Amino acid sequence: MSAHRGFRSPDLGRRALLATLPSALLGCGVAVPSRSQAVHSQPRPSARVLACYYAAWDTRTYAISDVPGEFAVIYLFHAKPAGPRANGSWNNVGDGSFRFEHHAEVPSAQVQRCRARGQKVILTVGGERAGFNFDDRRKSRNFVDSFRGMHDRLGGVDGCDFNNFEAKVGSSPAEMVWIAQQLKAWYGPDFAITAPPEPNSLEDRALLKAMAEAGVLSWAAPQYYGWSGFNAPGFIRNRTDDWVRDLGADKVMLGLAADATRGPSLQDCIREWEAVKASHPGIRGLFCWNAQFNLAGGNAWGRAMRSRL
């Protein structure tokens, strides 16, 4: 990855625009937690969201606190199953607990710096070769306990991004709903529950539809990169129709790419985003993979898409 050393983190003037965002994140109601639980209030970002994924292992050039102010949400990628690697992956290893291994590279002080200036930080769990199917309550409880530990060590985060089913290990909708309910009960109803599903996966659509119907899903953001077919004119717009039909426009974002290999170009992103907005004015927003690629490109993607949000 080539770095543009001349690009700097946004100054306070640019960051100030974040302070003007109204409070409106996620509005999914759950039961009031017990007195033994501490509910931590979570501030809400704007109704339409521009987000990016920050790869925790790639901190040589840009810190998470360098993510520009155009992005109201930062996904911190990623926590993995807390078991020994098997056959080159962490898929379904361990007892359901997860761990974040990059505290040295992404210290809590940097995470809290982002949050203090108005950006929301959502911790992603799972990913390619790091999937987990929570197929019984014991594993689900272990995950919740481990997430609380990761949350506290990072100094607090604003949500959980479920990417545990990307590795094609299957999913258990009832357990995913239960986990989300526990997290919202602990951290408050505005704690974000999100996911970046595979756009063409009927299984992923069924899972996210179940979570939406249970009232725990904040948004799903199908990821349209990694396959050149996504770049065809109209593909993203047409597939988005299916997701909106299942979830509602306010619970759908577009997962795009900033200079990523086999990802859509900036012009592809603009074309499809404008078409989706025209068809679905209530669409929730979009994200890019990833923050480092965007920064290496001088934040061209971030500025262009923020101006069209």
Give the percent of the chain with pLDDT over 90. 82
Q: How many domains does the chain have?
A: 1
Beta strand segments in 119-234, E: 120-125, 159-162, 192-195, 219-220
**Residue 4 resides in a domain:** no
**Residue 1 resides in a domain:** no
Given a cut of 80, is residue 23 above it in pLDDT?
no
Supply the pLDDT for residue 246: 98
**Residue 90 resides in a domain:** yes
**Residue 2 resides in a domain:** no
Band (pLDDT 50/70/90 cuts) for residue 262 is confident
Hey, how many other C-beta atoms are within 10 angstroms of the C-beta on 29?
9
Q: What is the CATH number of the domain that holds 293?
A: 3.20.20.80
**Gap between the Cα atoms of 47 and 68, Å rounded:** 19
Band (pLDDT 50/70/90 cuts) for residue 176 is very high
Domain that holds residue 252: 12-307
219: its two tokens: 């948004």
What mean pLDDT, rounded, does the chain reach? 88
pTM (whole model) above 0.75: yes
Residue 137 host element (H or E): helix 137-153
pLDDT by residue (tens digit) across 230-251? 999 999 999 999 999 999 999 9
3-state secondary structure at position 193: strand
3-state secondary structure at position 267: helix
**Residue 7 resides in a domain:** no
**Gap between the Cα atoms of 63 and 277, Å rounded:** 32
